[in-house]
Amino acid sequence: MAFATGPIIPISLAWYLLSNYLCANAVYLYPTKIPTVVKVVCWTGLMGGGIDHIIEAYQWYTGFNRQPFGHHWTGMEWIPIFCFALTSIIGIFAVVLEFALIDQKATLLSKALVLVTFFMGIYWESTMQWQFEHSGFEWHYGHIFAAHLFLSMMPAYIVWYSRKYLGLMSIPFFSAAKEPDLKQT
């Protein structure tokens, strides 16, 4: 197996962490129609996925485990699937669905672009990524762009477009972002 080497590993790690953090905060702050407990579970899953990337990168660089990313879950494959992947997709889908169905500020074109991009990312993650050597350059390249540019960043894009006042770099449990009162000018 030809493992990825060189700068793609630290670049991808930084990108994975940033996009997971922004996504987790957007998933927690944006939806108004899902229960807080679901948002907390999704936030935790996204942050857990980021921490998992740190563990893998550490093992990779120390030579402790020169196995494909995710190999440390051998025998417990259900953990990343249910704890990271499923919770992430539920949270991202909640934001995309609320944006597409409820957000009255969004145009029909912006809603269509969000849905197309979301389904492109889902298609890549569910089918295409499995055609590459796990932890190879092509796999990371696809994971950087498809999973983390199209999927993980989708909630952040929606917040930046629709609710700019939500601070995605904050810790959402401690911030009480309120929609600005436009009448007071």
Distances (CA, A) of 178 to 154, 163, 166, 167, 169: 21, 10, 8, 10, 15
Is the Cβ–Cβ distance between 148 and 15 less than 8 Å? Answer: yes
For helices 108-126 and 87-101, the axis angle rounded to 10 degrees is 160
Flag whether pLDDT at 61 surpasses 60: yes
pLDDT digits (tens, 9 = 90+) for 8-57: 777 878 888 899 899 999 999 999 988 999 999 999 988 888 888 777 77
Alpha helices for 63-153 (secondary structure H)? 78-79, 87-101, 108-126, 137-142
Is the Cβ–Cβ distance between 39 and 27 less than 8 Å? Answer: yes
pLDDT digits (tens, 9 = 90+) for 106-125: 899 999 999 998 888 888 87
pLDDT value, residue 62: 63
pLDDT value, residue 71: 65
pLDDT value, residue 182: 46
- Vertex 151 angle, CA 1 and 23, to 5°: 110
pLDDT digits (tens, 9 = 90+) for 68-118: 556 667 777 777 778 788 888 899 999 999 999 998 888 999 999 999 988
Distances (CA, A) of 9 to 69, 88, 104: 11, 22, 40
* pTM score, whole prediction: 0.80
